[in-house]
Structure formats: C-alpha cells, structure tokens
Structure 1
Amino acid sequence: MNIGIVGLGLIGGSLGLDLRSLLEGEGLTEPLGESVLQGGRVLGVSRRQSTCERAIAMGAVDEASCSLSLMARADLVFICTPIGAIASTVEQLLEHLNPHAILTDVGSVKTPIVDIISPIRRNFVGGHPMAGTAYSGIDAAQFKLFVGRPYVITPTETTPPEATEVVVAIANLLGARVYQCSPMDHDRAVAWISHLPVMVSASLIAATATEENQDILDLAYQLASSGFRDTSRVGGGNPELGVMMAKYNREAVLKSLSNYRESLDKITLAIQQEDWETLEQYLTATQQGRSRFNC
C-alpha cells in the first residue's frame, strides 16, 4: 500500500515517520496485519521544495513533491493542510487520484469538511487525530505522536464501510485510541475540550498582560511555573489553528464561551460577596468533575 500525505507539517510529518516504520514492518504497538499494509511507500506533497527535501532527509517520506500528481500512486491519502485549505486541496487533488484510493483528513472540525467532500468523493473518511504540540512545521514532527491519543473517525451513512475499516486499522496501528461518531457530535464535543480551552488560555495570557505596573508584570514573568505553564500552553500555540477552530466551528465555540462566561460570573459573584462557602462548593464540584475526563 502506498500512502500519500498532503501537507508536511507537525501532523503530516509525524504521520509519515510512523507510517514509514509501519510499511517497513517495524510496527509501533502491534503486528502489521497483511490485509492492512503490505509494503509500499510514503509519498508527500508540500507547497515548499525545501519542506519536501527536509521531509525526505529526516525520514518522514520516501518521496516528496510540490505537485499533487504524485498522489496518483497512492492507495490512501491523508490531507494534513490547515482546515481552511482542506476543501480546495481536495478539489485540486481529485483529478490525480486513483478512483479506488481512500481519502481522509486530519482537520479538527469535521461537519463543514465532510459536507463538502463526501458528495464529491465517495471513498472519503473524515478523521481527527487529537495530538499535537505547541510547535508547527516539519521540524516539529516526531515519532509516536499518536500513541495513546484519541483518533476520531466520522463516517456518514454513505461512507463505504471498507474505507472506514482501512482508516480505523491505520489509526489502531499508530497506537491511537480510536472513536467513531457523527461529524456534528465530534464538533460539539471538541468545542468543549479543545476549542474552548484555546480561547480561554489565550484570554488568560492577554489578561495577564494588562497589569499596569511593569515591575509587577516582570515579577509575574519570573514567578510563572507549572500552573501557568499548563493553563497557558494551548493559548500560546499556532494562531492560525485557533482562528480556524473558531471560524469553522463557530456555533459550538460561541455556545461553549457563553457557558464559560456564566461560570466565571458565578465565581466572580461569590468572591465579591465574600461567599466562601459557595466558592468552596463550586471548586469541590469542579475537583470531582475533572476526574471524569480521560486525560
């Protein structure tokens, strides 16, 4: 099986590193399974020739090109471009694809992508590997990025079961925890645990910068430790990704922000009224509620 990757950044590059290992029979978490992978090559496409060369040099792909025509040799293609470029990339890619090739993506929003691509490409399976770092680009790619991380597959009623099976099998071989749901359910869920945290974290960083006393602000910079590091990490990530989350999952993100504002208002009111009992009850409930999250 030849596997194509369009977009050689953090996710695309990391996929390439692991998939090349799989195709060479080394495996990551379990035996390969002859029905899934039988040799083959990893083919990459990037807009920049320098990225193509770097991807080959670091072992993320066997071959790379700035031309989508390379994907004509692929049996499975991962679209790893930014969310806003996925649909247009697929439209350009279609003329090059083998009619039987399976197409999947890694976008963090699924409904608009699935709605556009499914009608024009029957063998399309929406996907979202929920893994990443604060860094971007091919040099940020790493082995085993997906091990133990959620990988959401969002087939529809018209998605061929055999296409879904292949993508699920690959995700399992990457060591990910695979889940299947509808595109809409995916978008509503990730608004709470992925998109809202980005906006909240960004707001935390911005609010800190409003301290008017420069000496105090400089001291805060020096004293920041694990608590601030953990809560500010996603807000300090790729700005383009945050904008795309908000733009393509706007309704769900707005709902989550509205509910978050209500929660902040409750905390604010309790502190204003010196209602420490209510505040303690609130924080006790959140302490207990956090244990339900699988992280």
Structure 2
Amino acid sequence: MDIGIVGLGLMGGSLGLDFRALGHRVLGVSRRSQTWQRALERGAIDAGSTDLGILSSSEVVFLCPPLGQMVSLARQIIPHLNANAILTDIGSVKGAIVPPLEQLWPHYVGGHPMAGTAETGIEAAQHHLFANCPYVLTPTERTNPADVETLATLITSLGSRLYRTTPETHDLAVAWISHLPVMVSSALILACANGGDRDIYELAQDLASSGFRDTSRVGGGNPELGQMMAQFNQGALLGCLKTYRRSLEDLILQIEAEAWDDLRDRLAMAQRERRQFDLD
C-alpha cells in the first residue's frame, strides 16, 4: 500500500519507520527539504518532497502537523489526493478537527495515537512507538465504514490497541488523562519556581528525585502542544480544571483542620482509584 505522511516529526517519522518495516511504500512531505531528506536517510520514507503532489498515489494519508495547522493543511492536500484516498490525522483533540475535515473530504476518519516522548523532530522518530499503546478512531455518521476498517487494519498492524468512540467522548476522556495533567504539572513547576525564597528553591532543585521527576515531566514538555490542547479542547479542559481545583481545596481544608484520619482516608481512596488505570 502507498501511505502518505504529511509532517515528519516524532509521530510522522515513527509511523513511517513502522509502515516501511511492514512492507508499505511511504511517501513523506515536509515544509523543509532537509527534514524529508533526513527522514529518507533514517529509513522513515521511500520518497519525500516539499511538493504535495507526491501524495497523488497514496491510498491512505496521515496528517501529522500541529493542531492549529490541521484544517488549513488539509485544504492544501485535498487537490492532490486520488478520489478514493483515505485521509486521517493524529491530533489529540477531535471535536474541533473532525467536523471541518469530514466536510472537506468524504473519506476522512479522525484518529489519535496515544503515544509519544518528550523529544520532537525527525531525529526522535523510533520503531515500535505505537506498540501496546491506545490508538483511537473517531468515526461519525458521515464516516465511510470501509475506510474505518482499512485504517483499523493498518493500526492494529502497528501493535496498537484500537478504540473507537465519538469525537466528543474522546475529548472528554483525554482532557482528564492527558490535557489536565499537562496543566497540573506546569502549575507544580511554576509554584515551585515562584515560592519566594531563592535559596530554598535552589536546594529543592538539588534534592529533586523520582517524585518530582514523574509529576513534572509532562509540564516540562512542548509549550505549543500544551497551548493547542487548551485552545482546541477548552470546554472539556476547563471542566476538569475546576473539578481538580475543588479536590485541592478539600485537601487544604483537611490539612488546615488537622483532620488527619480524613486525609488518610482520602489518600487511600486515591491509591485505590489509581489501580483502576491500566498503567503497568
């Protein structure tokens, strides 16, 4: 199968590496010629260009730009697609992306691979990035079922765990487990940095270990990605942040009241609830 990938960073490059390893022909497009040339050297694509015309033979095209560029880039791509080509994206928000894209192209299917690292760019691309990770498809009533099945086959061949849900349900779920943690983690880092005493802050930096590393990791990630999460999933994220704020206020009240038994019970509840998540 000829597979087009537009945007050859971590995600697009990793898709290319895996699809080529599975025997597909991968055609890559990037804004800069240096990027697709490096992707070619790394074995992530069979051919590349800055010209969207290279996609004309593609049977499936993966859109891998930042969220804010998704719709405008799709408009540029569509004149170069063959009539039956499937168009999909990897955006982490679907409610703001799916409606305009499915109006632009009858063979569009929304998608979101729940994988990644803190690194970016083609040099960060790696084999098996998507193995054992969730990959969500978000078909609607307008989506062609045959297109969904074609994509499902490709995705499961990557070793991903396939899920199907609506764009709205997807956005609510990822607001809790992806977008909220970015904001909470960022707030933790900023609170430490603005605590008031520079000497204590510098000592804290020296003492920081696994607890701070784990809870601060996503807050130290790509600022543009965090902004896009908030901008395009504003309603769901605000709801999560307000619920989180109430949870923090409850903890503050228990500590102020020295309600240690209640605090222990609350922490025990958190311990039990965490076991419900498939994190191992």
TM-score (norm 1): 0.93
Aligned residue in 2 for 1:33 = none
**Per-residue displacement from partner, 1:131-189 (whole Å, max 9, x unpaired)?**
01111111111110001100000011111111000111111000011100000000000
Aligned residue in 2 for 1:18 = 18
Letter in structure 2 aligned against 1:270: Q
Distance (Å, rounded) in 2 between the aligned partners of 1:247 and 1:169? 32
1:218 maps to which of 202, 208, 224: 202
Determine helix, strand or coil for the equivalent of 1:19.
helix
User: How far is 1:279 from its partner?
Assistant: 0.7
Aligned residue in 2 for 1:27 = none
Letter in structure 1 aligned against 2:155: A
Identity percentage of aligned residues: 54
Aligned residue in 2 for 1:164 = 148
Distance (Å, rounded) in 2 between the aligned partners of 1:93 and 1:288? 48
Distance (Å, rounded) in 1 between the aligned partners of 2:215 and 2:107? 39
2:63 maps to which of 79, 82, 86: 79
User: How far is 1:50 from its partner?
Assistant: 0.9
1:1-295 equivalence runs, <5 A: 1-23=1-23, 40-295=24-279
Distance (Å, rounded) in 2 between the aligned partners of 1:21 and 1:284? 46
Distance (Å, rounded) in 1 between the aligned partners of 2:126 and 2:205? 30
User: How far is 1:112 from its partner?
Assistant: 1.3
Letter in structure 1 aligned against 2:240: S
Distance (Å, rounded) in 1 between the aligned partners of 2:221 and 2:86? 31
User: How far is 1:213 from its partner?
Assistant: 2.3
Distance (Å, rounded) in 1 between the aligned partners of 2:175 and 2:149? 26
Q: Which blocks of at least 5 consecutive residues in structure 2 are unaligned? A: none
User: How far is 1:214 from its partner?
Assistant: 2.1
Distance (Å, rounded) in 2 between the aligned partners of 1:225 and 1:50? 38
Aligned residue in 2 for 1:26 = none
Which protein, 1 or 2, shows the higher relative CO under an 8 Å CA cutoff with sep ≥ 6? 1
User: How far is 1:73 from its partner?
Assistant: 1.5
Distance (Å, rounded) in 1 between the aligned partners of 2:277 and 2:42? 36
Q: Deviating runs (4+, > 4 A) in structure 1?
A: none
Distance (Å, rounded) in 1 between the aligned partners of 2:204 and 2:68? 37
Letter in structure 1 aligned against 2:151: V
Letter in structure 1 aligned against 2:9: G
User: How far is 1:217 from its partner?
Assistant: 1.2
Distance (Å, rounded) in 2 between the aligned partners of 1:280 and 1:47? 54
Determine helix, strand or coil for the equivalent of 1:135.
coil
Letter in structure 2 aligned against 1:90: A
Determine helix, strand or coil for the equivalent of 1:158.
coil
Letter in structure 1 aligned against 2:228: M
User: How far is 1:263 from its partner?
Assistant: 0.2
Range with bigger deviation, 110-119 or 252-261: 110-119
Letter in structure 2 aligned against 1:209: A
> Number of aligned pairs?
279
User: How far is 1:239 from its partner?
Assistant: 0.6
Determine helix, strand or coil for the equivalent of 1:77.
strand
**Per-residue displacement from partner, 1:229-282 (whole Å, max 9, x unpaired)?**
111111111111100000000000000000000000000111111111111111
User: How far is 1:94 from its partner?
Assistant: 0.6
Quote the RMSD (CA, aligned, Å): 0.8
User: How far is 1:211 from its partner?
Assistant: 2.7
User: How far is 1:212 from its partner?
Assistant: 2.5
Letter in structure 1 aligned against 2:211: G
Distance (Å, rounded) in 2 between the aligned partners of 1:262 and 1:212? 25
Distance (Å, rounded) in 2 between the aligned partners of 1:211 and 1:251? 30
